[in-house]
Structure 1
Amino acid sequence: MSNVYQNIAGQIGEMSKSHVKVATYILENQTTVPFLTVGKLAKMAGVSDATVVRFATSLGYSGYPEMQQYMQSSVQQQLTTTDRLKMSQKVYNRGNSGVYEVFQDDIANIKSTMEKLDEAEFYKAVECLLQARRVYVIANRSAISLGVFLQYYLQIVLNNVEMLQSLEASSEKLYNLSEEDVVIGISFSRYTKSTVQMFSFAKEKNAKTIAITDNLLSPLIPHADIPLTVSSQMPSFIDSFVAPLSLINALIMFVGKEKQEDIQDRLEVLEDIWSHFDVFQRGKME
């Protein structure tokens, strides 16, 4: 079932009219469809959302998310940033409320993430972070934005969190990893090689590993003790980081709930420091 397009083409002759519409649109737009939500694919193919879901299950997939994973896997490594820019020109138009379609796609990513979230794994990640001697966050390229946010707030909560980026600058820290440490790897297609390499090494050193990535076909997953998958698809040259950031918010908040007294003491000290150095703007802006 790994060749999803052959699977679709091989069964198109036995499909209902509405399913043929979906199949035809997918086969004619193989580089665009993997990044479409259920609603957007339904709109493009001229069918209902339910028809798209039934189409996926009729092919033997558990649902649209699984079929989408296979479609993305077959095309993502081949697409350049320029290719993805061209996709956005086909999907998002300046007229016809195009800007609202971007918002809707972000909302759809959050809904998809909520539906497939494994709560047991999420709370296991929270417990691992609470028990860790040290926490390391690995992220590169665009995912740095997520890594910096996660490291900044977890450091306030736990006071033992570091950001790892380049292999050259992080090798000494990786050398000292042990089973008492937690390493969080953040990467989305087209997965950064250095992130995968460092995350894999952390697993070899028996550190507890948490992957924040887009699907179970991600190269981070084989090295993850705790996989946390989030939807980030968007037919554009950028990934949608709305759902990943929402998941990170939840992690920080639930870790923070367990460390409330520690945070309060730490924040009081930080407030004194911020006040001493006059960090924040006071009064009204002129």
Structure 2
Amino acid sequence: MAKSILHTIERNMPTFSKGQKRIADYILQNYDKAAFMTASKLGKLSGVSESTVVRFASELGYDGYPSMQRALQEMIRSRLTSTQRIQAADNLFGGQDVLSAVIQSDMDKLRMVAEEADRTEFNKVVDLILGAGHLYILGVRTSSFVAGYLNFYLHLLSENVTLVQSNAAGEIFEQLLRIGPGDVMIAISFPRYSKVTMNTVKFAQDRGATIVAITDNELSPVYQMAEAALLAPSEMISFVDSMVAPLSLINALLIAVGSRMRSDVSRTFAELEDIWNAYGVFGKMDDE
């Protein structure tokens, strides 16, 4: 539904009440701003009440204003420029306690993942990771930090893990020279979706590797290319992305993988503890 929300509004315009037409006109002309407004603010700018905005969302077939808002956000997420992001943040957080507003927004994302995550798909991803001949982890731009976090822990659990570095396109393909059937690529991609990620995933797919996507929604390009996918929202806050929900999802994935590798994980960390102690890697509290 997110793909066609503007088309849906235009198609149903003749059936709207006078107040609903005001909302529709405002959204059609300012959808990049409306996507990040509260129902109250959208109503004020459209010249109608908040309750009229809520009824408008229901009229379009959504189960509430937040669902309509998410549909707008998903539609425009990959289209906004950095300047538009900043303007959207002003609409979303203007006049509020920014700290509380941002934390509340992240909490809402975490709650969404907890309630809506597909457990069957989650277990499928765990199986694919454990069964991979070699595991490749890909993430560029802001997703590179998420990829690095996932790689740090998976690399401790298995020697067959490669973090694909994205300094140059040619170097990426050199790192994937031996990828093939039986291997798994975890492609982490959040708006604005990078063409580098798409091209790399296509290469891995052409070589016979299985693709696992960690992304924000079903409209994401990597979702369309993946055999399995885990979804977590990363709504834009000004010029930064929120990676709280994706990182929490990855924490759950790491714990699930570790639980299935119980004895191997115990041996690995027992050996690491011996090394850390022998070489004084970490200071002791009583040394301070």
Deviation at 1:194, TM superposition (A): 1.0
**Cα gap change, 1:161/1:17 in structure 2, threshold over 3 Å: closer, same or farther?**
farther
Aligned to 2:38: 41
Aligned to 1:122: 122
Deviation at 1:73, TM superposition (A): 5.5
Q: Deviations over 1:139-193 (max 9, x none)?
A: 0111111001101111122332111022332323322112211100001111111
Residues 129-138 or 63-72, more deviating? 63-72
AA aligned opposite 2:162: E
Alpha-carbon distance in 2 for matches of 1:17, 1:245: 44
Aligned to 1:108: 108
Deviation at 1:275, TM superposition (A): 2.1
Alpha-carbon distance in 2 for matches of 1:165, 1:33: 37
Aligned to 1:148: 148
Asked if structure 1 preserves the Cα contact closer than 8 Å seen for 2:74 and 2:217, the reply is: no
Deviation at 1:284, TM superposition (A): 5.9
Deviation at 1:26, TM superposition (A): 3.2
Structure 1 SS opposite 2:105: helix
**Cα gap change, 1:69/1:88 in structure 2, threshold over 3 Å: closer, same or farther?**
closer
- Within the alignment, does 1:138 sit opposite 2:138 as a pair? yes
Q: Deviations over 1:80-117 (max 9, x none)?
A: 11221222123213x54232111111111122223332
Alpha-carbon distance in 2 for matches of 1:20, 1:281: 66
Aligned to 2:191: 189
Alpha-carbon distance in 1 for matches of 2:206, 2:129: 19
- Within the alignment, does 1:246 sit opposite 2:248 as a pair? yes
Aligned to 1:159: 159
Alpha-carbon distance in 1 for matches of 2:60, 2:189: 29
Query: Which runs of 5 or more residues in structure 1 are unaligned?
Result: none
Aligned to 2:60: 59
- Taking every aligned residue pair, what percent have the same amino acid on both sides? 37
AA aligned opposite 2:38: L
AA aligned opposite 1:136: Y
- Superposition pairs for residues 1-286 of structure 1, below 5 Å? 2-15=3-16, 23=24, 26-27=27-28, 29-34=30-35, 36=36, 41-45=38-42, 47=50, 52=54, 55-56=56-57, 58-60=59-61, 71-72=72-73, 74-93=75-94, 95-166=95-166, 167-283=169-285
Asked if structure 2 preserves the Cα contact closer than 8 Å seen for 1:196 and 1:219, the reply is: yes
Normalised to the residue count of structure 2, the TM-score between the two structures is: 0.84
AA aligned opposite 2:137: V
Residues 180-189 or 270-279, more deviating? 270-279
Asked if structure 2 preserves the Cα contact closer than 8 Å seen for 1:210 and 1:225, the reply is: yes
Give the total of aligned pairs.
279
Alpha-carbon distance in 1 for matches of 2:206, 2:70: 27
Alpha-carbon distance in 2 for matches of 1:12, 1:177: 52
Residues 6-15 or 201-210, more deviating? 6-15
Residues 62-71 or 151-160, more deviating? 62-71
RMSD: 2.9
Asked if structure 1 preserves the Cα contact closer than 8 Å seen for 2:135 and 2:161, the reply is: yes
Residues 20-29 or 81-90, more deviating? 20-29
